Chains A and B, each alone.
Chain A
Amino acid sequence: MRGGGRRRKLHFSKIYSFTCGKSSMRDEHSQIGGPGYSRVVYCNEPDSFEAHMRNYGDNYVRSTKYTVATFLPKSLFEQFRRVANFYFLVTGTLAFTPLAPFTAVSAIIPLIIVIGATMVKEGIEDWRRKQQDIEVNNRKVNVHYGNGVFDYTAWRNLRVGDIVRVEKDEFFPTDLLLLSSSYDDAICYVETMNLDGETNLKLKQALEVTSFLQEDSKFNDFNAIVKCEDPNANLYSFVGTMEFDKQQFPLSPQQLLLRDSKLRNTDYIYGAVIFTGPDTKVIQNSTAPPSKRSRVEKKMDKIIYFLFCVLFTMAFVGSIYFGIATKDDLNNGIMKRWYLRPDNSRIFFDAKRAPYAAIYHFLTALMLYGYFIPISLYVSIEIVKVLQSIFINQDIHMYYEESDKPAHARTSNLNEELGQVDTILSDKTGTLTCNSMEFIKCSVAGTAYGRGYTEVERAMGRRNGSPLVHQHLSGGDNLKDSTDGKAPIKGFNFKDERVMNGNWVNEPNAEYIQKFFSLLAICHTAIPEVDEATGNISYEAESPDEAAFVIAARELGFEFYKRTQTTISLRELDPVSGKKVERTYSLLNVLEFNSTRKRMSVIVRSEGGKILLLSKGADNVMLERLARNGSDFEEETMEHLNEYADAGLRTLILAYRELDEDEYKEFNQNFIKAKNSVSAERETVIDEVTEKIEKDLILLGATAVEDKLQNGVPDCIDKLAQAGIKIWVLTGDKMETAINIGFACSLLRQGMKQIVITLESPEIKVLEKEGEKEAIATASKGSVLNQINRGKAQLTASSRNPEAFALIIDGKSLAYALEDDVKNLFLNLAIGCASVICCRSSPKQKALVTRLVKSGTGKTTLAIGDGANDVGMLQEADIGVGISGVEGMQAVMSSDIAIAQFQYLERLLLVHGHWCYRRISSMICYFFYKNIAFGFTLFLYEAHTSFSGTPAYNDWFLSLYNVFFSSLPVVAMGVFDQDVSARFCFKFPLLYQEGVQNILFSWRRIFGWMLNGFTTAAIIFFFCTKALAHQAFNSEGKTAGRDILGATMYTCTVWVVNLQMALAISYFTLIQHLFIWGSIALWYIFLLAYGAMSPSLSTTAYKIFIEALAPTPSFWLITIFVPVSGLILFFTYSAVQMRFFPMYHRTIQWIRYEGTSNDPKLCDMVRQRSLRPQTVGFTARLAARANRIKDRHHNRR
């Protein structure tokens, strides 16, 4: 396990200058022991008396919502927070009073079923979380058992004060105090992606006094007392002291290893447990993600409120009538309806106290009309959504083979929201691009090398030339790949026979090439790892582009194979002898990269004794540091640089300089002094020192690394654009890169007017140098406002002649554009543009932009990203989609849906989103329909009982309507219905607009369905009562009583609502058939079974079917006639609509039905039915090109 003995000798602290190292000696240490700083940890003696006194919790982490004890009350509370459920609870309770029009049990049982089902679902979900917890809590870690013996134990068993040993690539189980590592200087590398999303490795270093503890046995008699701050959520602070050997040592965040970060590039570390379980910083930081509800569901609430209004109105009307009728019954002691005994009545029917009777009746009516509100709606929707998300999870087309990741809907709340996305806000790195860098081109001494074609160049080829060029390009590429016959090397895509296989010696500028590649092999901070079996070398680097450089150097014959503390060893081709020789450069200094310096240099002494300063960096900082005479081919290099940038490549300039001994000595002294200084200006001092030596550089050339686009990104974007979805790119990258990627993704194209808003203007820069904050702010804001207004003017100027605009804005300007008084202007401008790219934006700005779009336009926004810097955006957007490809899980954990690749967004939105939206909205409409159809018959009947509150149906018919006889088909529709198949969803992306414009869940459609419900109810009631009037019901002269009328009407209702379902769906699987016909059959079976029970149970339904209904022809005639006439209206409406006003999906169904889906002309016509021209995506690009060519022809004539 501990294979890296070689590396243990390294003192990396010398390579790094420890910018954030030992500078944190602050006053806070004086607060130790005071309030907020009271924690005392007895390291390595968790069993001691003092530690017991403290009794800190164990390391068990709980993410479940409920415990066994709290499950019942908590989940019940959750359930009854929903207004409909609460209403049913109230009416259910009231049902136990004499007010009830039906028996209490029949009212309460559906509620119990519904609530029970939801609670079971909650329980299962929580159980899953529990399983995850168990998995995490039972992970193993090596812990000190005493006497220098370490053994594995589960994470949850760790106690404060334990000493643990964490191996390479393991997660830290708790917040640990770093004691020592496999390196002699007790440093270790930590990946904190899970915490903050930053992907570069962080360096931690233990106190020197504990760095000797490098073996298990040394912990035999180790003791220390740590006093530190109390648990808090601040990831970047830690204050404490360690008492060791009777001495006090201050502790800083530099010694704290946080739970859920990962040990990298270090074989092992020893640490003492400081915070456990819920006390750890990451758990303290975790907030419950905001619960999101979809638009459809919010609207559904409104509908429910509306129905409540209808219900209350009906109850009110009924109560007034009832009150008057009741009062009328007794007039000066004369009874009108004497058979009701109004003279001797309880309050509910008391003619003498009619107003009270009316009020009580109101409550009765509320219970009776409760059938207006679909009790099973919520639970049905939940079931449907869970099943829908299972479909999303199981979709084989959204499974990414390479990372073994299927799509994962983390919440099922937002399925239908996926069908309504108007704007996508996308991160760039890791989302659009793979975050894998490939060395693809270089320019050495003014000559460009590298024949590989990038995705971007292919896209450019598509953009500039004919599609043939593109084919030719890619074809040639393939040919080369196949002839090469080598496995592709990750990070290396460079093809040029002039320099490969050692051919560079024959190039005219071989000397430069040699320097160029050796610089690549030397100037970096990567560490080589030799596979002992094969001798292959791999590298561990801080960033993938750095790795790409070292690999490129290796592949081109400059193999970096060994790094010691002071040397770097290469195997390189000697141009003179033509043989591989091993050369060792002694490493003198590393001048690190940081974002202000934008360059990195090393100073080495070559075998020949020359001192070389090797430097690489961004073009703008490097060019000004070149020697006047050292840049013979600066022009050519610049040209190449521009070309590379056009192709969307990341470029760096390489340069070097020879130093003489004295110059170096002087520098070294200053540098060491600067490094060891502890003043606040330490960094500035270091910068100043390095500035002095990094000058007069001699240009070698430039490198170009491709930031690879993910598979299928351009196609996906094109489809989404065709669907009318707007795509904004929010990236932390610099403007040039962002623009390049924009081109590659077809978000930008030639002929698109770019409105660039930036503060990189000279005036602002001057101000910034002067450093007056207020002046800068006013000037900047003015400038941004000005630019926005200019852009807006451009936009309005061309509004008649629609031209595509692109808005590109950088982070600094964005800060001003997002201010309250500017943001609406900015939003207006942005909405007018076809594509929007925000570069250099911070995570917070990303979230703010998302909020601006969401609240400003009122449309559904979807944010997609992969890193922790996207978390804010993901949580802010209506839907957050996390890319689950990379190791960091922060984005995924805060997302609503996780997919492995950007390209799956296409399927997620256009297919699943569209289907889910359609299913849920149809389902809700249908739910209201069926309940109104049922509830309104109750009302109509009640009106014929002088509003006394008699239900038309038997108690159990009433309560089982929603549960058994009408809900399964709806659920089946919600789960399985498809208007058009996935293939056609892709073929006609415009179909997606049905969701964006909310056509299927517009008030018109909702009220249409409600009206349908009311008419159906009226038809059922009046036809049934007319047909079953007072005449004999059968040939034996028996007349129809309440029981027969009720059962007949109920039968008709069951038929109508189920047949209506059959008419409404367009996708009949066996399941649909089963559920629809099954529900109807179930009703008859129920009627038989219930009727066969003893009359005390079945009351009015006793033997009703066998004895009365089934032998009677008129019953059957009515049940044929009423459903058919109830449906004719809808059927005619649908037929007319299909014929004259087909909706888009109907048109597509038509095309499929007629089999003309392969007629390109027709399809094109249907596809282009939108009057809004497409502005982004490569289809638009091709169309624009075609237009240009047409214009040119036109002009020539």
Chain B
Amino acid sequence: MSSNTAPSSSGGAGSADATSTRRHSKRPKYSRFTQQELPACKPILTPRWVISAFMLVSIVFIPIGVASLFASRDVVEIIDRYETDCIPTTNRTDKVRFIQSPGPKKCNRTLKVSKRMKQPIYVYYQLDNFYQNHRRYVKSRSDQQLKDPKSESDVDACKPEDMANGLPIVPCGLIAWSLFNDTYSFSRNKQQLTVNKKDISWKSDREHKFGKNVFPKNFQNGSLKGGATLNTSKPLSEQEDLIVWMRTAALPTFRKLYGKIEVDLEENDTIEVILDNNYNTYSFSGKKKLVLSTTSWIGGRNDFLGIAYLTVGGLCFFLAMAFTVVYLVKPRQLGDPSYLSWNRNPGGH
């Protein structure tokens, strides 16, 4: 009888009212937040929702796709791959030696305008298999030095192109050192086409990253010559080729803006290009291409976005149709328990 029970001062009427007068100090306060009863919308994937979502996507995507595709197709592009052709046939067995040998390596190319090109026509050089995104390469620059003449000797990151003959190099680093140095000049019907090299770089770069009073110094003076040399009388902020080059490309195949031709080119125009083939892509067997291209609102010529939009839009349309058919043909049955996973193997769990 008194085995495992609590001692209790149980009594008569006296103890009954003690509980009722007690204050409920610990009672949680009611709020929709604490009781997890916040108003909420609880979307579920009803057929109507699913079908409308798919329809919406296809309705939005297909027009966009058509528009982008048109825009991309509007762009006229002339691509000329020249890295092999610009090497004399006799030298083609050892291209690297040829390119490293001193002396001019002029090369004439003829481009045909397939379609009328409205100005401005952008001139690009396209390199291939060139890892401008290699970590060693990307890091080999000194933003301080480029911007500020006082930080001239801030070249720690630039090794091995940091110092030459005991003096810091401006601009230092592998990127600047390997500046692209093929040059192009264009003429149509023996008439020179001027290439405007102004404003080919991002404005923010010109104004904030490359100093107006920082001049190239001691550049390409090392034992091993890299790419282009720079005009020491022009400040870095005006060396737009360098600025474009220093904005490193994302992928090993990339184009860089060379300049703009600001006249229209008519269909079937022939364009003569005289190029200086100086840049060594041969040791890593990279291609070099010269590209002339117009732009549209979407940029250069790339059908991918348009096609992708159309594909996904079409896929969604198809899915919308498929779901509609399925929902119509076989309305959902609620009571069918056979799909519940724990019922598939009732015994073993």
Contacts and interface: CB of A to CB of B under 8 A. Distances in A.
A200 B2 contact: yes
Interface in B236-281: 247-257, 260, 280
B1 interface: yes
A593 B2 contact: yes
B78 interface: no
B150 interface: no
Interface string A536-573: 11111111111110010010000000000000000000
Given A946-B252, A1032-B295, A1035-B298, 7 more contacts: A394-B35, A1031-B255, A1032-B122, A1118-B305, A1121-B61, A1121-B309, A1169-B340
13 contacts: A101-B135, A334-B283, A339-B226, A529-B11, A538-B10, A600-B1, A997-B342, A1031-B255, A1032-B255, A1038-B257, A1102-B204, A1108-B202, A1128-B57
Interface in B111-145: 120, 122, 124, 126, 130-138, 143-144
Given A1028-B250, A1150-B334, A341 B4 contact: no
A234 B256 CA distance: 84
Nearest to A1043: B247
Interface string B45-58: 11100100100010
Interface in A427-444: 429-430, 435-437
A1151 interface: yes
B5 A200 contact: yes
A543 B131 contact: no
B86 to A, nearest CB: 19
Contact of B283 (A335, A489, A1069): A335
A404 B25 contact: yes
Given A337-B284, A1067-B42, A1096-B144, A545 B295 contact: no
A978 interface: yes
Contacts of B98: none
Interface string A1034-1049: 1111111111111000
Interface stretch (B26-34, B101-109, B164-172, B212-220): B26-34
Closest 5 A/B residue pairs (Cβ): A538-B11, A1031-B300, A1032-B300, A1037-B122, A543-B2
A303 interface: no
B302 A1153 contact: no
Nearest to B32: A1069
B245 to A, nearest CB: 10
A15 to B, nearest CB: 14
B13 A946 contact: no
Nearest to A393: B28
B28 A396 contact: yes
Contact of B208 (A595, A869, A1095, A1171): A1095
A1037 B257 contact: yes
Nearest to B343: A1171
A976 B2 contact: no
Contacts of B133: 944-945, 948, 950, 1042
B152 interface: no
A1072 to B, nearest CB: 8
B144 A1114 contact: no
A491 interface: yes
Interface stretch (A70-78, A84-92, A813-821, A1141-1149): A1141-1149
Contacts of B251: 944, 1025, 1029-1030, 1045
Contacts of A264: 7
A536 to B, nearest CB: 5
B312 interface: yes
A1150 B38 CA distance: 20
B284 to A, nearest CB: 5
Given A345-B160, A1041-B249, A1108-B202, A201 B44 contact: no
Interface residues of B, number: 123
Most buried by A among B2, B3, B202, B208: B2
Contacts of A1120: 64
B249 A1039 contact: yes
B308 interface: yes
Interface in B312-340: 312, 315-316, 319, 323, 326-327, 332, 334-335, 337, 339-340
A1146 B43 CA distance: 11
B191 interface: no
Contacts of A766: none
A1044 B250 contact: yes
A1138 B327 CA distance: 12
A1036 B24 contact: no
B255 A1134 contact: no
Interface string B175-210: 001100000000000000000000010111000110
Given A547-B8, A1171-B337, A1027 B308 contact: yes
Most buried by B among A543, A1038, A1114, A1169: A1038
B44 A490 contact: no
B105 to A, nearest CB: 17
Contact of B204 (A617, A1025, A1107): A1107
A978 B42 CA distance: 9
Contacts of A1070: 38-39
Contact of B342 (A542, A999, A1096): A999
Contacts of A490: 10-11, 15-16
Contact of A487 (B16, B26, B41, B178): B16
A1131 interface: yes
Contacts of A948: 131, 133-136
